[in-house]
Homo-oligomer: A and B are copies of this chain.
Amino acid sequence: MTNSQWPCAMCPMRETGFCGTLLTAPTSKLPLKEKPPWQEFRQFRVGDKVLDGEPSRHIYVLCHGWAFRYKRLSDGRRQIFNFLLSGDLFSPLAVIRGEMRVSVQALTEISVSAFERAEVTERLADHPLLSRKVLETCVTNAGLWERVIMVLGQGSAEERIAFLLLHLTRELSRRNIIRDHSYPFPLRLQHIADATGLTPIHVSRIIGRLRKRNIVDMSGARLTVTDPTELERIGSLN
């Protein structure tokens, strides 16, 4: 990981008086600030759960790595709402309301910043820039939720998968992670299935088809977008 990729560039807490503190990340080469007692820096390994359906005392920001946010039904079905990348606030709603019965699990090694919720909400009122950031994240998410509802309600299997891959590709490109239309890709078929409402078997077939058509290739834990134009045509639902 190079400094230029250091996630603080994406962090919603940046420039809100909260952020300098994120630079206490162990591997960071950037200048340190003093860490306040109400912030913690934590690391998790692949498969670890950061949250498990219980309300949390903390607000989390993902600093590095991949995670996903999901909910499980009593009969085992799992819906993945979104994938979290560097700089993502886990749930802007958790800032306002404590509840939110969702789980978050790490897809790679990840590092997160955990802020005491009480401290953040207390500072929310007299820190307009912070509350603006939270609100902005809410808005961004709401836009994503509506696009997801659109694609789950109206899209074919192919459109759903293309939409997901397109979205991830765009997000990673904003973070300067993509080189030669290819990037490390930690999702298994099961994750794509649970995010798109399909079965992993069917996802495999569709991805195979997309590969044969030279649109995307998913192998060796990497995703390569061979034909971005075509992927966009399929996945953007306009």
Q: Are A152 and B74 in contact (CB under 8 A)?
A: no
A178 within 8 A of B: no
| Copy total for this chain | 2
A122 within 8 A of B: no
Binary contact track A89-133/B, C-beta < 8 Å → 1, others 0? 000110011000010000000000000000000000100100000
Contacts of A150 in B (CB 8 A): 71, 73, 79
Contacts of A154 in B (CB 8 A): 73, 77-79, 197
Q: Are B79 and A139 in contact (CB under 8 A)?
A: no
A residues adjacent to B (C-beta < 8 A): 71, 73-74, 77-79, 81, 92-93, 96-97, 102, 125, 128, 135-136, 138-139, 141-143, 145-146, 148-150, 152-154, 194-197, 237-238
A135 to B121, CA, bound (A): 14
Contacts of A128 in B (CB 8 A): 125
Q: Are A152 and B93 in contact (CB under 8 A)?
A: no
Residue of B nearest to A154 (CB): B77
A197 to B92, CA, bound (A): 28
A145 to B91, CA, bound (A): 13
Q: Are A97 and B145 in contact (CB under 8 A)?
A: no
Contacts of A141 in B (CB 8 A): 142
Contacts of A195 in B (CB 8 A): 153
A92 to B146, CA, bound (A): 13
A74 to B153, CA, bound (A): 15
CB distance from A38 to the nearest CB of B (A): 22
Contacts of A153 in B (CB 8 A): 79, 152, 194-197
CB distance from A2 to the nearest CB of B (A): 33
Contacts of A97 in B (CB 8 A): 139
Residue of B nearest to A153 (CB): B197
Q: Are B238 and A73 in contact (CB under 8 A)?
A: yes
Q: Are A149 and B237 in contact (CB under 8 A)?
A: no
Q: Are A71 and B146 in contact (CB under 8 A)?
A: yes
